[in-house]
Amino acid sequence: MAQRSSPGTQPSLFARLVRRRRRVRSYLALLAIMILYVVLCVMPGGHGRGGGAWAQPVATGVIATVATVEGTCTRLPARSAEWVETRAGGLIYGGDRLKCGPDSWAVIDLVDGGSVTLGPGCEVQFDSLLYVRLFIGRLWARIQPVAPGGTDFRVETPSAVVGVRGTHFTVWVSDEYATTVSVESGVVEVLGAGQAVLVPEGYATRVRRGQAPEEPGPMGDDEKRAWAERRGRLKGQTGSDGDSGYDSGDKKGGKQDVHNGKAPGPPDDRPGGGGKG
């Protein structure tokens, strides 16, 4: 016959209630952390937009100034929900997002001497001097050489990560979030789906979402037009990129081909000239 436990050997009702309350508090704390993470991901300036692996630290001070604006350019300050118009001379802080209107351009001077040109419809976030997120549209970047052992400048898109150590390059994100990268000078590393390619001067590659980069090939006509248009837009400007060594025509001595203010999209299937993505 089984013996009944004495009251002293069983947990008291009070002890059971205390343990239960502790478990409930632990669950609530975990739930609060999950909710906070979701909120931060969807906030303007957070890490949830675009489908990329946004996990880089955001600078807190001034990282750039607006050198020139042609048309309209608006800025979404970090941790704000209101877009405000920005003009030449405006300051850009870590986490700020910029957006160019149709047929609009902006040149951004980084405090380390580099510069980024934003084309029509471009939307980009400047997290730090070394980390930029491009959501849609085209940007051109002139990045200062990095000292040995230094950190690469990176542009992250919904489908690729572009790493450079001092070069002139352009990145274009299509409406389908395909990324096209072309290089005018230097070498750029492009990473997609865990695989990387090196893109040398005069070459381009394309990365579709969830896929590895295509084998780099000579720039297509559309990428050449994009570079020619940029040089045409900057011709006659002083400061920033206006006197950075870009001539007013094609580098091969050819004719300048301006694309009527539209950020060109690749018309064929060549790397840097191809497809809808």
Give, for all 277 residues of the chain, the pLDDT tens digit. Answer: 555 555 555 567 777 777 777 777 777 777 776 666 544 443 433 333 333 444 566 777 999 999 999 999 999 999 899 999 999 999 999 999 999 999 999 999 999 999 999 999 999 999 999 999 999 999 999 998 877 767 789 999 999 999 998 899 999 999 999 999 999 999 999 999 999 999 999 999 999 999 999 999 999 999 999 999 998 876 645 444 544 333 333 333 333 333 333 333 433 444 555 444 4
* Residues whose CB falls within 8 Å of the CB of residue 60, separated by 6 or more in sequence, listed in order: 93, 94
> Is 178:276 a contact under the CB 8 Å cutoff?
yes
Q: What is the pLDDT of residue 43?
A: 40
Distance CA 18, CA 86 (A): 57
> Is 168:160 a contact under the CB 8 Å cutoff?
no
Determine the CATH number of domain 56-243: 2.60.120.1440
DSSP string for 106-165: EEEEETTS-EEEE-TT-EEEEEETTEEEEEEEEEEEE-PPPPTT-PPEEEE-SS-EEEES
> Is 76:234 a contact under the CB 8 Å cutoff?
no
Domain boundaries, the chain: 12-42, 56-243
Secondary structure of residue 181 in the 3-state scheme: strand
**Which pTM was predicted?**
0.68
Q: What is the pLDDT of residue 216?
A: 98
> Is 272:226 a contact under the CB 8 Å cutoff?
no
Q: What is the pLDDT of residue 42?
A: 39
Q: What is the pLDDT of residue 246?
A: 35
Distance CA 234, CA 236 (A): 6
Distance CA 236, CA 233 (A): 8
CB atoms within 10 A of CB 173: 28
